[in-house]
Amino acid sequence: MKISKTTIFAAAAALVFALSAASCGKEVPQTQQSSESFSVAGGTVENTEATATDEAESAETTEAATEAEESGKLSGVTLSYSEAEVNIGQTLTYPYVYDTIDEVWSSSDEEIATVDSVGNITGKSEGKCIISVADKNEPTKGAEVKVTVKKSTGVEETNGITYVNGIMIANKSYPLPQDYNPGGLTAETNAAFQELVDGAAKDGINIYLSSGFRSYDLQSQIYNNYVNAYGQSTADTFSARPGYSEHQTGMAIDVNIIDDSFTGTPEAIWLEAHCNEYGFILRYPFGKQDITGYKYEPWHIRYIGKENAEAFRKEADKRNDVNLTLEEYLEIDSYYH
């Protein structure tokens, strides 16, 4: 690994700059706000990383400075990073703001990436956009992050079936072939569900299977009935088009009462709290319709294996999100293309 003196100097300068800005908590004097010193400070993380593999670091610094000048409608604020890559469905932790401002975050294109009130950035679709933070009291004071959103790279296709990190996917983006038919729930799913039912019974909770495997043809009938009754756009919020149903995997189960009256019941609460222990996840959690493509379904669980379910649970804890979805976890999307 080669780190040039220039880079060390730039990093040190940026650190001093950042520390002085952070410790005094005031606006840095105007003389230090040239776009040059600014882009060096903002680009430090990227430049330091680039040096390990790329010797043309001085060229990159120049390029970064030029880009900063071009887009620089906001100035006077330094962030811990000024460029970022994020996968669809992934959320990046906010860049640290080294200046005391009344932060207002915004995205130049919310179809590509969104940003929350503290600066956490979420990838939505492939493309590039700018995430900005500005001072509420002084709208030209702020900084920008150039964001590139990419598709997850862990997606593999075998015989028309999509796997992400080894997990079979059936959602609105990744359908199953018409002839994919395991003939019922997979043996593993069946065994794991029996364990779940037994575990629930020990806690005085009665969980039973209402709908398990559904073939392409059966889903076709169900979906068409809903379309006839409610129209396609409404049907699409709760019923999968044939080929797109997770029930065709043989690893999805609807338990107990398959309607909103199941919400909040002791059975639903138990399922949400314990299904991970048996290798299942709640597939369509509350408040994630925009991500999963389906409204909240507390009765629909999906078997992903005990190890995966445990890792999923840990990731949910890490993100402090009890409603983590498989899409967010695997960094994939779910919408009809």
- Shortest distance in whole angstroms from residue 74 CB to Zn ion: 46
**According to the binding rule CB under 5 A, does residue 300 interact with Zn ion?**
yes
**Between 246 and 328, whose beta carbon lies closer to Zn ion?**
246
- Shortest distance in whole angstroms from residue 293 CB to Zn ion: 13
Backbone angles phi, psi at 260, to 5 degrees: -60, -20
**Residues in a beta bridge with 87:** 150
- Shortest distance in whole angstroms from residue 247 CB to Zn ion: 6
# residues contacting Zn ion (CB under 5 A): 2
**Between 42 and 250, whose beta carbon lies closer to Zn ion?**
250
Task: List, in order, residues 6 or more apart from 294 with CB less than 8 Å away.
Answer: 237, 238, 284
78, 96 Cβ separation under 8 angstroms: no
CA distance 171 to 254: 16
Q: Which helix (H) or strand (E) covers residue 132, if one does?
A: strand 127-135
**Between 141 and 300, whose beta carbon lies closer to Zn ion?**
300
**According to the binding rule CB under 5 A, does residue 172 interact with Zn ion?**
no
- Shortest distance in whole angstroms from residue 102 CB to Zn ion: 45
The residue of the chain with the least Cβ separation from Zn ion equals 300
Q: Which tokens is 14 given?
A: 């940026």
Please pick, from the candidates 109, 254, 277, 321, the single residue that binds Zn ion as defined by CB under 5 A: 254
Residues in region 37-56 near Zn ion by CB under 5 A: none
Task: List, in order, residues 6 or more apart from 147 with CB less than 8 Å away.
Answer: 83, 84, 85, 86, 112, 113, 121, 123, 128, 129, 130, 131
**Between 124 and 300, whose beta carbon lies closer to Zn ion?**
300
**Between 2 and 295, whose beta carbon lies closer to Zn ion?**
295
**Between 152 and 289, whose beta carbon lies closer to Zn ion?**
289
Looking at 31-39, 62-70, 137-145, 294-302, which segment touches Zn ion (CB under 5 A)?
294-302
- Shortest distance in whole angstroms from residue 179 CB to Zn ion: 21
**According to the binding rule CB under 5 A, does residue 146 interact with Zn ion?**
no
Looking at 39-47, 136-144, 187-195, 299-307, which segment touches Zn ion (CB under 5 A)?
299-307
- Shortest distance in whole angstroms from residue 292 CB to Zn ion: 12
**Between 123 and 298, whose beta carbon lies closer to Zn ion?**
298
CA distance 94 to 18: 16
Q: Which tokens is 260 given?
A: 């909103």
What count of other Cβ atoms lies within 10 Å of the Cβ of residue 294? Answer: 22
> How many angstroms from the chain centroid is the CA of residue 31?
40
**Between 88 and 170, whose beta carbon lies closer to Zn ion?**
170
- Shortest distance in whole angstroms from residue 199 CB to Zn ion: 21
CA distance 330 to 337: 19
- Shortest distance in whole angstroms from residue 302 CB to Zn ion: 9
Looking at 24-32, 247-255, 286-294, 324-332, which segment touches Zn ion (CB under 5 A)?
247-255
- Shortest distance in whole angstroms from residue 252 CB to Zn ion: 6
45, 10 Cβ separation under 8 angstroms: no
Spatial CA neighbour of 185 closest among 197, 173, 202: 197
152, with CB counted inside 10 A (0-12, 13-18, 19+), is middle
Task: List, in order, residues 6 or more apart from 240 with CB less than 8 Å away.
Answer: 170, 172, 219, 223, 246, 247
The identity of residue 92, as a single letter, is L
**Between 146 and 247, whose beta carbon lies closer to Zn ion?**
247
Which residues contribute to the site for Zn ion (CB under 5 A)? Answer: 254, 300
